[in-house]
Amino acid sequence: MGETGRNDIRTMKNAFWLITFLTLFLSCKTYKPEYTYQESRIEPVDYSNIKFWAAHPDKTDESDRTPERETVTYDHLIADVFFIHPTTYTGDKGQDKWNGTMEDQKLNKKTDEGTIRFQASVFNHAGRVFAPRYRQAHLQAYFTKDKVSAKKAFNLAYEDVKQAFDYYLNHLNNGRPIIIAGHSQGTNHAERLLEEYFTGKPLKEKLVAAYLIGMPVRKDRFTDIFPCKDSSDTGCFVSWRTFKKGYKLPAGISEENVCVTNPISWTCDENYIPKTSNRGSLLFDFNKIYFHHIDAQVSHNILWANKPKFFGSIFLRTKNYHPADINFYYFNIRENAKHRVNSFLYSKVK
């Protein structure tokens, strides 16, 4: 079989796994918590141990990768990025507890090869990337009727994130500017982190920007951290959730005053930005760049994007592009994060 034939087979397999992932992500899981959250003594995590970091500048990890296969070095970067990964504990066999564990190697691999590679790496041109492992809440915590158990699961996950951030501040930051970034569950934890450590606190002066992606975040969520006005604004936050063009949230879902940033123009207006302005997207192959592939338009409280085209995309029925919130705009985000760091530095020396 020739190289072209092998590439076609790989492409078909990749398309199949992307479609499978999207389908599973939006469906009920076979393995999920079916019991009330059981209180027990939870041992704190020792974040001085580098094994509890999915991404850390002192080790080689998936956040160091680039789609161009460049070698990333952090010596010249003066900012840090604290990235909180989204839910990867979604209900595989044996995953029926309310919180994932640090020792689940299959789960860690899923986190690293998915979210750290495809999401955390987008920030490696802007700063040193730190991404803690944490006992994330099960995906079903978002959908269960047992809200008490769900809240406890999210609280445990946040306590890990908070502890990791405490360790980072006390031992690793050394006064450097900070980008806070998260996706999905990671964004929910990032919101709490911003509220507890930055809002009304001296640390806010070190905030380059917050990338709160994949969840609805109100414009007035924080008292002194506001939606970014443009691509250069600092000390602010951006947020969006991506859906197929024309999609409208179901009736009965009341979301008002939600921040929606266009990740191509970096404004919150509803002007249509064509795909020709998109610097590059990623789909399921990290080293295959799709140039000028995805457009963007803010529509009320969500972001619209055209359907991606790839071998097998005819079978892609979902209109919720949540897993691709970052992938679709990968190179625009990478450039913007670096630009905001430069803008932050310039504002401090004026």
Q: pLDDT band for 252, please (50, 70, 90 cuts).
A: low
Terminal C-alpha separation, the chain: 62
Report the alpha-carbon distance of residue 289 to residue 32 in Å, rounded. 36
Of 167-171, 244-248, 345-349, the range with the lowest mean pLDDT is 345-349
The pLDDT value recorded for residue 225 is 98
Provide the 3-class DSSP secondary structure of residue 114: helix
Torsion angle of the four alpha carbons 268, 269, 275, 281, in this order, in degrees rounded to the nearest 10: 10
Model confidence over 186-216: pLDDT tens digits?
Answer: 999 999 999 999 999 999 999 999 999 999 9
Contact predicate 115/86, CB 8 Å: yes
Span 6-21, mean pLDDT? 41
pLDDT at 254 > cutoff 90: no
CA–chain centroid gap for 319, Å, is: 19
Q: pLDDT band for 73, please (50, 70, 90 cuts).
A: confident
Q: Which comes out higher in pLDDT, residue 87 or 23?
A: 87
Within 8 A by CB and 6+ apart from 82, the residues are 130, 131, 165, 168, 178, 179, 180, 181, 193
The pLDDT value recorded for residue 306 is 97
Report the alpha-carbon distance of residue 267 to residue 340 in Å, rounded. 14
Residue 113's Cβ-side half-sphere holds a number of Cα atoms within 13 Å equal to 8
Helices 185-197/147-168 angle, 10° precision: 60
Q: Can you give the length of the chain in residues?
A: 350
Give the CA distances from residue 72 to residues 64, 66, 314, in Å, rounded to whole numbers and listed in that order.
6, 8, 36
Beta carbons within 10 angstroms of residue 346's beta carbon: 11
Q: What is the pTM of this model?
A: 0.91
Model confidence over 118-135: pLDDT tens digits?
Answer: 999 999 999 999 999 999
Contact predicate 215/188, CB 8 Å: yes
Number of H helices, E strands in the chain: 6, 9
Looking up tokens 């079978």 gives 315
Sheet (strand 178-183) strand order: 53-55, 128-132, 80-84, 178-183, 207-213, 236-238
Contact predicate 131/85, CB 8 Å: yes
The pLDDT value recorded for residue 92 is 82
H/E stretch holding 338 reads helix 330-349
Model confidence over 176-189: pLDDT tens digits?
Answer: 999 999 999 999 99
